[in-house]
């Protein structure tokens, strides 16, 4: 276990985020959790709950404000995200912007600001919550996959950029997890396809373990990890397997504007 630290969890109000805050709190860490409406946030092990809108035009200033207020922060976990099951043609520009901004652009802004702060002190850890959909492109999630593939590339480059400054950049990639992020339709589709769903508490435990062991990449789930490997090395095999699911997915696609 790591010695007690002050940890910023961006997206600490979500299913995985609040399980993570609880776990870190139970392990003796001081947790600062952000979300858009911290006043209405439910239970969480966070000592401090701070408002932060990742789509804000003054995001840089807001993040700097949090780091000025809590200079002892030594780990930042980006655990915010948005997703919706929809055909690629059903997502408006606004819906695309929203997903890319929260899932990718905000992670890059956090990385740039926190990286400079940690560089100045010579240590620190940044953890990004990616997704197995950042390893495998699947129908119905094209925009989400684009954001998570992008996040994985960004985190890998940032890791290599900052490592010699004593800064760790880690990525944890969960598979489907039972949280409010997945709509009823998405849950039904997963059940029909036989995809396993983890609990948020299990995923939170895996994030903490990856952080404690400074593991650069932590894809979660079997056979998802095998599929990710196959997709990198023999993508035509995964094309074949997923094409068999295409009509089932299509029957579940709903307009991205409807929720
Ligand atoms: N659930 C899954 O199946 C799954 C699988 C793989 C990876 N992941 C990843 O795990 C992470 C956590 O997901 P989750 O399942 O816990 O989702 P969730 O329950 O829907 O929580 C999403 C979190 O993101 C925050 N957020 C969304 N839009 C925001 C914005 N504009 N500004 C500030 N915060 C915003 C939410 O805060 P508000 O209170 O402000 O809404 C909330 O804290 C995400 O990166 C997700 O992509 C999830």
Report DSSP letters for 25-83, one per residue: HHTT-EEEEEES-GGG--S---SEEEE--TT-TTHHHHHHHHHHH-TTEEEEEE-----
Considering only CA atoms, which of 126, 195, 134 is closest in space to residue 163?
126
- Tokens standing for residue 58: 């003054």
Domain spans of the chain, in order of start: 6-258
Which tokens in the block code for residue 25?
Answer: 């709190």
Tokens standing for residue 87: 């055909």
The neighbouring-strand residues paired with 49 are: 33
- Cβ of 173 less than 6 Å from ligand 1: no
Give the distance (Å) from ligand 1 centre to CA of residue 81: 4
18 CB near ligand 1 (under 6 Å): no
Mean pLDDT for the stretch of residues 123-150: 97
Tens digits of residue pLDDT in 183-205: 999 999 999 999 999 999 999 99
State the distance from the centre of ligand 1 to the C-alpha of 236, rounded, in angstroms.
31
- With a 6 A CB cut-off, is 79 part of the ligand 1 pocket? yes
Q: Which residues contact 55 (CB under 8 A, 6 or more apart)?
A: 98, 101, 102, 106
Task: Report which ligand 1 atom has the smallest distance to the Cα of 17.
Answer: 16
Least Cα distance to 196 among 219, 212, 220 occurs for 220
The CA distance from 201 to 190, in Å, is 19
Q: What is the pLDDT, as a whole number, of residue 259?
A: 39
Interior angle at CA 58, CA 124 and CA 50, nearest 5: 60
Q: Do 139 and 93 contact (CB within 8 A), yes or no?
A: no
Distance (Å, whole) CA 206 – CA 213 = 11
Mean local confidence (pLDDT), 106-127: 98
CA distance 6 to 123: 13
Among 4-8, 44-48, 163-167, 235-239, the least confident range = 44-48
pLDDT at 38 exceeding the cut of 90:
no
Which atom of ligand 1 is closest in space to residue 80's alpha carbon? 24
* Torsional class of 232: left (φ above 0), alpha (ψ -120 to 50), beta (otherwise): alpha
Q: Name the region of 191 (left: φ>0; alpha: ψ -120 to 50; beta: rest).
A: alpha
d(C-alpha 159, C-alpha 90), whole Å? 35
Q: Is the pLDDT of residue 241 over 50?
A: yes
**What's the CATH superfamily of 6-258?**
NAD(P)-binding Rossmann-like Domain (3.40.50.720)
Question: pLDDT class for 44, splitting at 50, 70, 90?
Answer: low
182 lines ligand 1 (CB under 6 A): yes
Answer yes or no: is the C-beta of 21 below 6 A from any ligand 1 atom: no
Return the structure tokens found at 216. Answer: 């650069």
In 3-state terms, the chain is what percent helix, strand and coil (to 5)? 55, 15, 30
Query: Which pLDDT does position 111 carry in this prediction?
Result: 98
**Ligand 1, from 9, 12, 15, 16: best to mutate by most atoms within 8 Å of Cβ?**
16
Pocket lining: 210 vs ligand 1, CB cutoff 6 Å: no
Mean pLDDT of the chain: 94
Exposure letters 69-91 (e unless 16+ CB within 10 A, then b): ebeebbbbbbbbbbbbbbeeebb
């Amino acid at each position: 276990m790591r010695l007690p630290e002050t940890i910023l969890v961006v997206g600490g109000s979500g299913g995985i985020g609040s399980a993570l805050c609880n776990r870190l709190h139970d392990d003796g860490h001081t947790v600062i959790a952000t979300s858009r409406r911290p006043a209405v946030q439910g239970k969480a092990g966070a000592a401090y709950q701070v408002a932060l809108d990742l789509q804000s035009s003054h995001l840089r200033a807001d993040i700097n404000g949090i780091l000025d207020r809590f200079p002892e922060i030594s780990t930042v976990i980006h655990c915010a995200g948005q997703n919706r099951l929809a055909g690629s043609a059903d997502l408006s520009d606004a819906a695309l912007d929203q997903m890319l901004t929260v899932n990718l652009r905000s992670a890059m802004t956090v990385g740039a600001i926190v990286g400079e702060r940690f560089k100045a002190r010579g240590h620190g850890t940044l953890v990004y919550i990616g997704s197995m959909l950042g390893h495998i492109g699947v129908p119905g999630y094209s925009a989400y996959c684009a954001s998570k593939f992008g996040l994985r590339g960004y985190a890998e480059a940032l890791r290599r950029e900052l490592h010699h400054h004593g800064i760790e950049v880690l990525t944890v990639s969960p598979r489907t997890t039972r949280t409010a992020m997945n709509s009823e339709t998405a849950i039904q589709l997963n059940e029909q396809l036989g995809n396993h769903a983890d609990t948020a508490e299990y995923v939170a435990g895996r994030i903490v373990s990856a952080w404690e062991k400074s593991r650069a990449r932590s894809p979660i789930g079997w056979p998802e990890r095998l599929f990710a490997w196959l997709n990198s090395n023999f993508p035509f095999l995964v094309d074949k397997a997923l094409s068999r699911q295409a009509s089932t997915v299509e029957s579940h696609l709903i307009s991205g504007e409807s929720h």
